[in-house]
Amino acid sequence: MTMTSEDWNKQVVRRTLEGAGPYPGVQLHFLLMRLEQFPEALPAIAAAVRDMGAWYQAQADELEAEGRRRAGGAEILDLKK
């Protein structure tokens, strides 16, 4: 029987996060240590890192948009230039 995405979220993700309690970072550390033992898991780990990068980019874009809204639409200058 193949697990659906919803089943996976309920049976694996939720239980893993609940089991981690206030220490999800520690749980992730141990999970990654286990997964690194399986070469076929490495592309999935790399994809997850890319997904996290995209999530950070979306958060940064939203912060910039919020800054523009608060400034009444004024241009936000990139200080790195």
Q: Is the pLDDT of residue 63 over 80?
A: yes
CA distances (Å), 68 to each of 37, 59, 73, in order?
Answer: 46, 14, 5
Q: Is the pLDDT of residue 32 over 70?
A: yes
Domain ranges of the chain: 1-37, 39-81
CB–CB of 61/55 below 8 Å?
no
Model confidence band, residue 1 (pLDDT cutoffs 50, 70, 90): low
DSSP 33: H
10 vs 56 pLDDT, higher one: 56
For position 9, what pLDDT does the model report? 84
Is pTM beyond 0.75 here? no
Q: Is the pLDDT of residue 77 over 80?
A: no
- Nearest one of 52, 8, 45, 15 to 29, comparing CA atoms: 45
